[in-house]
Amino acid sequence: MGTVKKATSALISVFHKDGLEPIVKKFQELGITMYSTGGTESFIRSLGLDVVPVEEVTSYPSILGGRVKTLHPKVFGGILNRQDNDGDVAQLEEFDIPQLDIVIVDLYPFEKTVASGATEQEIIEKIDIGGISLIRAAAKNFKDVLCVSSMEDYKEFLNMITIGEGSTSMEQRRVYAAKAFNVSSHYDTAIFNYFNKNHELAALKISETKGKVLRYGENPHQRGFFFGDFDAMFTKLHGKELSYNNLLDVDAAVNLMSEFQGDDPTFAILKHNNACGLATRDTLHKAYVDALAGDPVSAFGGILISNKEIDAKTATEIHKLFCEVVIAHSYSKEALEILQGKKNRIILIQKEVALPETIVRSCLNGVLVQDKDHVTDSLDKLNYVTAKKPSERELQDLIFASKLCKHTKSNTIVLAKNRQLCASGTGQTSRVDALNQAIHKAQTFKFDLDGAVMASDAFFPFPDCVEIAHTNGITSVIQPGGSIKDQLSVDYCNENEIAMVMTGTRHFKH
């Protein structure tokens, strides 16, 4: 158990008082002298408990509107002294410094203040100085001091000191020191990222305090972890635990469906980060049926997502399919009862939360960071480069296909008709291969490509893709443009009455 120490004193200075009452009552019961400041002191006193104001120790009042309360040698000396060091112990006695065995501090809510849309001055005032210093000091001196730095630990801490009757072991204090430095490093990261939100400094600071061990990584022989607040984004209603691969597919599904929020009922089915089915219709039931028709083979074991509430009729169709995850903003009561009919099926309610603005991935001996692709191709940004212009129906399909193309692995070609995915070629080393894959797949599932549209994630360096598309009945094309040989593809389209539009924006997804 290491060195066991019995606490005789505690410094308590917290922003939130929730959960503090049973702890301070236990301190009084155990004969632990409590020192405190400001609102915390008033709270303890209101419970009829004994508390010593820090001002009595320092002989100095709280100044500068509360910015300076505990920043004093008599406070930090009480925390940082080494009790096995005769010189330190002598100086405590010389300067009348009380030994502090426990420090309970939480920090001003900086991240919540930023998220609230507060003014810069309000945000700056929520940068904690005294609290962060107390946490670091107490954690540094864990050999003699136990630091409680988060409300989340109150229940465990109360149980620990109750069982130990005020005593703690070296191992327990070390664990709480690690928790304290986790809190302090996360806090500093949030402050740095606020000041560096425009990335003036080429420095990367990432901190996630919520972590979960997964069953394994992409494969059973790999360890896997998820760091993030999954519960802030989803309510899990049913099913088994999500795996590493489930989470990657859920991420892909959410990002794809974000392009269709506010549109007519839209349903997508994804497999291995790519959509194998997508359709927009007048009803969600029809959208699901037509999305499934895009590739009913790949849909097996897929991830399903909707931009509307899932109703009983749609749920009845979904229930016929083995799928890993279903995602929607809401479900009717009847739909939920139907979908819960398979015990392992994961059912998620997606909440409205802000997603990260940057994408981070490991690379070589470092990391790559980039802005998220926030550009969605739209009608008002299209450049009509051919004599023939797309029809209204084709324009609708071109934007539909472009949205999907943006979220499909490169090189990719997407074929669509009547706001339905006919097929896509994904992750190919040549654009021609991607197109041929898409055409073969569409033909396999009996799609009529006459009048279909084609979307490409990058430009055509040669006219070969538009030639193949034309041969298979495709009548309209959307692509970024930007090749020095763009005119070759434009000329072919003009000669064969194909409509082509250019967006000016490439959407590679590697």
| Number of other residues whose CB lies within 10 A of the CB of residue 36 | 23
Instruction: In whole angstroms, give the CA distance from residue 114 to residue 492.
Output: 54
Q: Which of 25, 26, 140, 236 is catalytic?
A: 140
Q: 374 catalytic, yes or no?
A: no
Q: Which two tokens stand for residue 116?
A: 């609230």
Q: Would you call 503 helix, strand, or coil by DSSP?
A: coil
Instruction: In whole angstroms, give the CA distance from residue 452 to residue 6.
Output: 77
Q: 6 catalytic, yes or no?
A: no
Q: Is the peptide bond before 411 cis (omega within 30 degrees of 0)?
A: yes
In sequence order, the β-bridge partners of residue 362 are 367
Residues 6+ apart with CB under 8 A from 63: none
- Long-range Cβ contacts of 287-294 (<8 Å, 24+ apart): 288/314, 288/317, 288/318, 289/317, 290/420, 291/267, 291/420, 291/421, 292/317, 292/321, 293/420, 293/445, 294/269, 294/420, 294/421, 294/422, 294/423, 294/445
Instruction: In whole angstroms, give the CA distance from residue 460 to residue 479.
Output: 8
Concatenate the DSSP letters of all residues of 337-391 into one string: HHHTTSTT-EEEEEP--PPPSEEEEEETTEEEEEE-------GGG-EE-SSSPPP
User: What percent of the chain is helix, strand and coil (3-state, nearest 5)?
Assistant: 40, 20, 40
Q: What is the 8-class DSSP label of residue 98?
A: P
Q: Which of 26, 186, 205, 272 is catalytic?
A: 272
> In this structure, are residues 476 and 499 in contact, taking their beta carbons and an 8 Å threshold?
yes
One-letter amino acid for residue 157 of the chain = F
* Catalytic residue positions, numbered: 140, 272
